[in-house]
A and B are shown apart, each in its own frame.
Chain A
Amino acid sequence: MKYLTGLLLPLMLCGCETVQPWERGILSKDEMQWQPNVMETRLRNQVYASKEASSGGTGAAGGGCGCN
């Protein structure tokens, strides 16, 4: 296993490449974003944070009413 890792790791590292500034066309497409729709993500986070009462949402304690 050790040998296999030693062999595979350099091979996999070979696959790493810096994306040049002029090669970002496809990366800049909507479907390539972490958050394709900013508004929708905000809304989802708001709902998630307010319903996660036991863990206090994103910091502040919430009551699950969706109003914090």
Chain B
Amino acid sequence: MPFWVQAGGAVVGQKAPAVSLPALSGGEDISLESLRGSVVYLDFWASWCGPCRVSFPILEQLAIEFGPQGFDVLAINVDEVEADAQQFLSDIPVSYLVVRDGEGVSPQAYGIMGMPTGYLIDRQGVVREIHQGFRKSDGEQLRAEIVMLLKE
């Protein structure tokens, strides 16, 4: 990645940029801050992104498995058309938090380079791992990282 492409963005070892966005299902804003104390996987996704389709069932499984130990998934939808996101979620329903950012403010703040990009954030709100793209086999690695962070 050339250095001039972007300034800022989320960096491993530093605090995750603040995010507060409305839930896709409607209702109050959900902020990253409100999840402090939990290990959070912050996932940027869109309905047109193929690997996102692969990641959702895997993330759902991880969220269910590690939820009681303090693990949350916060998925940020960046679709231009909200109905596309709703359609995607009716195909692949998930129980974790899904918020919407149609303006692209948060992906800009995080400086994402591709879709999907996931940020694994520890209990102190520090970015620990950045995952670009998603393959089925990535689930195992992610799982190991979550287990490690939950132990801290």
Q: Which of A6-14, A24-32, A46-54 participates in binding chain B?
A: A24-32
Closest chain-B Cβ to A25's Cβ sits at a distance in Å of: 5
- B103-120: CB near A (< 8 Å → 1, else 0) gives 010011000111101000
Kindly count the residue-residue contacts between A and B in the assembled complex, taking CB atoms under 8 Å apart.
31
CB of A20 within 8 A of CB of B108, answer yes
Q: How many residues of A contact B (CB 8 A)?
A: 9
CB of B108 within 8 A of CB of A25, answer no
For the complex, give the distance between the alpha carbons of A31 and B140 in Å. 36
Tell me, yes or no, whether A34 is within 8 Å of chain B by CB: no
For the complex, give the distance between the alpha carbons of A22 and B43 in Å. 12
CB of A22 within 8 A of CB of B44, answer yes
Tell me, yes or no, whether B39 is within 8 Å of chain A by CB: no
For the complex, give the distance between the alpha carbons of A28 and B81 in Å. 13
CB of B79 within 8 A of CB of A25, answer yes
For the complex, give the distance between the alpha carbons of A54 and B104 in Å. 52
A-B contact pairs, 11 of them (CB 8 A): A20-B108, A21-B107, A21-B113, A21-B115, A22-B78, A22-B115, A23-B104, A24-B46, A24-B48, A25-B47, A25-B80
Could you list which residues of chain B lie within 8 angstroms of chain A, going by C-beta atoms? Answer: 44, 46-48, 78-81, 84, 104, 107-108, 112-115, 117
